[in-house]
Amino acid sequence: MSTDTTGDLFEEIDLTPSPQLLEALGDIPYKPWQCLAELIDNSFDDFLTDPDRSEAQEVWITLPKPTDDDPIVGLLDNGRGMSPEMLQSALKAGYSGKRRYGSLGLFGMGFNIATARLGHHTEVRTTRAGDPDWLIVEIDLRRLAQNDSFRTPLRREPKRDVSDHGTEVIVRRLRTEIAEDLKKANRHASVRADLGRVYSYLLRGENPIPGVPDGPMAGRGFRLKVNGKTVSPRLPCVWSASRTVTKEGREIAAVRSVDIALASALACMKCGHWQSPDLALDRCAECDGDDMQLRERRIHGWFGVQRYLDESDYGIDFLRNGRKIRIGDRSLFSWENPNDGTQVPEYPVDIPATQGRIVGEVHLDHVPVGYQKTDFNRESRDWRHAVFALRGEGPMRPKKAKTLGYALNASPLGEIFKGYQENRPGAGCLIPGNGSTAIHETARDWGAKFHSGKHPEFLSDEIWYQAVLAHDDNRGNGGATTRPTGNGGADGPSLTGRTGLTPLGGAPAGSSDQTGTAPTPTPISTPEPEPVETEEQRFERYRTDARQIFDLTGEVTLPRLGRKAVTVYETSAPLLDDRERPVPSLARLGKGVNLEVFVYGEHLVFREYGRDPRDYALMEIAQTLHAFEPDGQKVTAVAAEVTRQFPDQRVTESALRDRAGSVLGRVRELMTPIVVPMANELWEAVPEVVRLRAERDAGRADASLDWPTVVKDGAFVAHLDAAGIAAVVRMRPAAFLDGAVFTTSWSGWSDTAVKDRQVAQTVRPLEVVSEFLTDPGAKTRLELSLARITFDMLEQSVAGPV
Amino acid sequence: MSDIDEEIRREVIAEVYRQVDELDWDGMTPRERSQWYVRWIDDPRIGGKLTRFIERDRVRVWIKDGPIKELPRARYGIGPYAQFAVSRYPGVEQIAHQAIGPAWVADPETVDIKPNRCLVRGPESDVLMIWGPAAKLADLVWAGINARVDGSAEPLIVVTSPQGTRLSGGEMLRQRVLAKQASIELRHITLRLARV
């Protein structure tokens, strides 16, 4: 720019950037899948606005194969195709005339970044139904740079079939590192997985998850293939919407739809910026565009509960125009204190505190996103408003909300939080368990099967739900069966009697009392023996009287001995081996790698010797695998290896601490309403040492707590440790026993000695737990066993579901 | 097959082809397809009708070796199942137009299979068009060599790629060079699967 001395003569300068700039865009570190996604976005944008959906809307991606010496990356869609003007506008770098409103593409720049990142030569071909030609543009970045020009010719190629339509992008002369990367083994699979995650909503069909109504989960059913293989959407592994938990007398479903209407606003059709109609601006405040249209805005989607807990695989996915921008976002799980800007984490805090299961998909089509499409603009008013609408203004924890003067949090996320923040096994919280602990690892293992798409039996939540019910069924019996003996038990006819196979001369050697079954005299003179029970019928009978031990259900893989898909049943029908001898357990190889294991839960060895049926099931699995052992390894070594495949069975210190957290949490929850009316007098009465420990715990948990108020309200219960709970129970047994918190009977006894013993029996396990938790040293095997049994006793004495 | 009522047989084939079209069968992994065979056994519109005539454990094989095996050919309008295909590739005539030019006319009477081939009559001479996917290139070249030996019309190999699969320049060149070793011309075309 120059001016002459008079200052009134202006010349123009050309601000068209050098084509080298385009090549430099290729240095932006997009991953290959991100590059493909930029191109896919353009195709899906077209699909989303196409009213005519007579044919499946499909995008095909071609990636280099390991053997290619001239690799290309290609994308073809069967969209509507473009006119020459549309093509021109779509390709114009940076200054794109492409409409950002309602589109995923958002920026014309995305196309340039993606193609420049992939390679040096791009060909775009497009045609509409009825057009006679394909329109073809070649963008050769190096040649453009040499000529220092942005101009490139438009070519036409006659069409064989005038009804053909769509757009194709082919990138040639790939960057070496991109080509090498895309040729790697399994790279195509990982690209498909990434795309399946990001486009889950657009790729899935109308009713993708059994048991979840199609409303909130329904997708668009677009098709996407990479080298001929379909990209499968990664589906949310959530509980069915018909599953509920009851909190404060209200049923809370495991899936909750979100549909929040927002005030309509003026959308700039050019740059996508939204502004309030109240401002009465006739031009866009962002880009000065003059095409502003009043459009409806809403936040919609769902929150739900995953069928398993995970350290990283949970959180909320946020979408813009169907594409996931944030996956597994957890920012909504913290409450931001508006006074000091501090973040207070609210979820997950229940044991295990590092793992969560609340998930969701929320569409925020109106909130601006960054150009790399990896996050929303969190400073924007629209984002902040969405956060309030989705998770409420105050804390989700009711007590915390009340303390800080907020109303009860009734937001969509707050409701799910209320129902499912806790992770206690059983139907109370919808967590699979084994009678004593939660089986998180098994549940997660089943989740992996759900996501693999190779196990249709894991699509519905039935197996998880059965494990939830089995926990409650089984609780209080140390994991042994509690199901009443069915018709195969002592009252049922003996097998020998029914089969008529008893040799003449008396009962078979095996039908002794050992199984608890009284030998039935065989009617030798029966003229017509009953039909012989086949092996299949016999095992079917075992299954009928059985419950599955879900925490032992899964795959066992030993490097040299192969893989078995194991299902374990605890049956109340006495088991007989193939020579009709009573046995405590049996294994049966099924089709393929399937192995069924049966354990007779009423066998003396379990009933009177305190053995755990699980140990026998593990021995059966080990023995089966041992049969394939070529090196003469001991069966006990195999059994040890098999046992280690079931991490939920561990009795480690950390597993026991998790369990302590769960059961004490339940006890405190039951105590709180009882304590509230007598908070002051109770607090005064408890020993000084208990008060000090509670106060210290509260100080660590929340430095901003007003401790005198907490004491007055009775909220101090939340900070009582096991010994503190024991002390409180000792002081007021009438308030907490007789089913109020503990099932132990108390008031009905007239002898004070009996009464004292009842109290002692209740508080002793609490004291053992307290010792266990406060002792920092490593625990011996016996100490761990003692703790486990103490937990069993404690859980058995707590009222209601634990 | 003969023991199945003809009307029912037609209904079942039509239903299998309808579902295959909706399911995006081409993009499925072998395992996913396997799962569908199992589901079809219990589908009242498929297995439910077939089990009136054949054993339940024969249903899977019947579907796999019948309608599914014939599916690629049926989509080209060839074979006894052609009438049931819901989506079709272009017909022989169109393939010839696409590969050689609009002046050439395919003779439907000469269509033969394994691999697909047919006589195409041109303004001056005829060619034996042999077509199929790149994966079957060896069969296509072998058929071309045999045509030479048998003295039939000049063979022409047409490698067809379904829409969405693009061969790289290197791959196409290599295929042409391979055919050239047998002195046979080879061309590439893309075929679009369209609902009928």
Chain B residues in contact with A454 by the CB 8 A cut-off are 31
Token match 């006990």: residue?
A: A636
Q: What percent of chain A has pLDDT over 70?
A: 89
- As given in the structure block, the two tokens for residue A100 are 């950002």
Q: How far apart are CA B60 and CA A17, in angstroms?
A: 63
Instruction: Dump pLDDT digits (tens) for A429-471.
Output: 999 998 888 999 999 999 999 998 888 889 999 999 999 998 8
Domain boundaries, chain A: 19-203, 244-423, 535-647, 653-797
ipTM: 0.84
DSSP string across A365-422: TTS-B-TTSSSB-TTSHHHHHHHHHHH-SS-SSHHHHHHTTPPP--SHHHHHHHHHS-
> Is pLDDT of A651 > 50?
yes
What's the pLDDT band for A333 if we cut at 50, 70, 90? very high
Instruction: Dump pLDDT digits (tens) for A495-547.
Output: 333 333 333 434 444 444 444 444 444 445 555 666 778 888 889 989 887 88
Distance, in angstroms, between A160 CA and closest chain B CA? 6
Q: How far apart are CA B52 and CA B54, in angstroms?
A: 6
CATH code of the domain occupying A244-423? 3.30.230
**Omega of the bond prior to A733 within 30 degrees of 0, cis?**
no
> Is pLDDT of B63 > 60?
yes
Interface test with B, best of A39, A40, A62, A138 (most B CBs within 10 A): A62
Sheet holding B185-191, edge to edge: B105-106, B116-121, B126-132, B154-162, B185-191
Question: Which class would CATH give A19-203?
Answer: alpha beta
Q: What is the mean pLDDT of chain A?
A: 84
DSSP string across A255-267: EEEEEEEEEEEEE
For A62, which of B32, B166, B195 is closest by C-beta distance? Answer: B166
Predicted pLDDT at A796: 83
Predicted pLDDT at A325: 95
Sheet holding A255-268, edge to edge: A274-275, A255-268, A292-310, A356-363, A315-320, A323-329
* Pairwise CB contact (< 8 Å): A230 & B28: yes
Backbone φ and ψ for A511, nearest 5 degrees, come out as -85, 45
Least confident of A290-299, A586-595, A732-741, A745-754: A290-299
Chain B residues in contact with A58 by the CB 8 A cut-off are 164
Predicted pLDDT at A8: 63
Predicted pLDDT at A546: 87
* Pairwise CB contact (< 8 Å): A160 & B28: no
Q: What average pLDDT does the segment B88-92 reach?
A: 90
pTM metric for this prediction: 0.79
Q: Nearest chain B Cα to A54, which residue? A: B195
Instruction: Dump pLDDT digits (tens) for A46-86.
Output: 898 888 777 889 999 999 988 888 899 999 999 999 999 88
Amino acid residing at A175: R
Amino acid residing at A452: S
> Is pLDDT of B166 > 70?
yes
Predicted pLDDT at A7: 55
Q: What average pLDDT does the segment A87-115 reach?
A: 61
Q: Are A430 and A239 contacting, i.e. CB atoms less than 8 angstroms apart?
A: yes
A→B contacts (Cβ < 8 Å), by residue, are 54-56, 58, 60, 62, 64, 68-72, 74, 76, 78, 160-161, 163-164, 168, 170, 172, 223, 225, 227-230, 453-454, 456
* Pairwise CB contact (< 8 Å): B26 & A456: no
Chain A residues in contact with B163 by the CB 8 A cut-off are 60, 76, 78
Instruction: Specify the 3-state DSSP secondary structure of B191.
Output: strand
> Is pLDDT of A267 > 70?
yes
Chain-centroid distance, C-alpha A106? 30
Q: Are A586 and A577 contacting, i.e. CB atoms less than 8 angstroms apart?
A: yes
Instruction: Dump pLDDT digits (tens) for A685-696.
Output: 889 999 999 999
> Is pLDDT of A790 > 80?
yes
Non-local CB neighbours of A128 within 8 Å, separated by 6+ positions: A80, A81, A82, A83, A165
Q: Nearest chain A Cα to B21, which residue? A: A56
Least confident of A284-288, A697-701, B17-21: A284-288
Burial of residue B90, with CB atoms counted within 10 A of its CB: 0-12 exposed, 13-18 middle, 19 or more buried: buried
What CATH architecture is B92-191? Answer: 3-Layer(aba) Sandwich (3.40)
Least confident of A133-137, A282-286, B68-72: A282-286
Would you tell me the crossing angle of helices A653-675 and A722-731 to the nearest 10 degrees? 40
Predicted pLDDT at A16: 67
Q: What percent of chain B has pLDDT over 90?
A: 69
Domain boundaries, chain B: 6-88, 92-191
* Pairwise CB contact (< 8 Å): A76 & B35: no
Q: What average pLDDT does the segment A624-653 reach?
A: 86
Predicted pLDDT at A6: 53
> Is pLDDT of A675 > 50?
yes
A-contacting residues of B 68-97, CB under 8 Å? 90, 94, 97
Interface test with B, best of A161, A206, A227, A231 (most B CBs within 10 A): A161
* Pairwise CB contact (< 8 Å): A68 & B170: yes
> Is pLDDT of B69 > 70?
yes
- As given in the structure block, the two tokens for residue A794 are 């404690």
The HSE-up count of residue A635 (CA atoms within 13 Å, CB side) is: 10
For B166, which of A55, A74, A223 is closest by C-beta distance? Answer: A74
Let me know the angle formed at the C-alpha of A351 by A345 and A356, rounded to the nearest 5 degrees: 60
Q: What average pLDDT does the segment A397-422 reach?
A: 92
Q: How far apart are CA A111 and CA B80, in angstroms?
A: 47
> Is pLDDT of A106 > 70?
no
